[in-house]
Amino acid sequence: MKCKTFLMAGMMFFAVCLSACSPSDSSVQQSVNEKLTASPGVTAEVKEGVVTLNGEVADDAAKTAAEDAVKGVSGVKSVTNNIMVQAAVPPPPPPAADTSMRVDTAMTK
């Protein structure tokens, strides 16, 4: 019985030490924000080591770069990437052919 109590106390002490050793959400948030300075339009929220990315970027490469930058931060357990990629703007249609000259020419003949 004494051994069991000692073992339980040891496990509780280890759990407390382990949680005290991990960085706080506020320090992780600060490090994440520093990494995201190269990603304008992207914001992050940290909760229990889980980073949630939000915002809008121009392309998939920027979305991936923001996620990769944050994954390397100490204390980040996982990343939820909710960043939206801006829709590509379709090119304008080609100008309509000027048919007024053809109509005028045809009418004069």
Of 32, 26, 67, the C-alpha closest to 47 is 26
pTM: 0.63
For tokens 């003949």, what's the residue? 109
Mean pLDDT, residues 1-23: 59
**End-to-end CA separation in angstroms for the chain:** 115
- Render pLDDT for 40-81 as a digit per residue (tens, 0 to 9): 999 999 999 999 999 999 999 999 999 999 999 999 999 999
What distance in Å separates the CA atoms of residue 109 and residue 105, rounded to the nearest whole number? 7
CA distance 45 to 28: 10
Most confident segment among 13-27, 29-43, 89-103: 29-43
pLDDT band at 93 (very low <50, low <70, confident <90, very high): confident
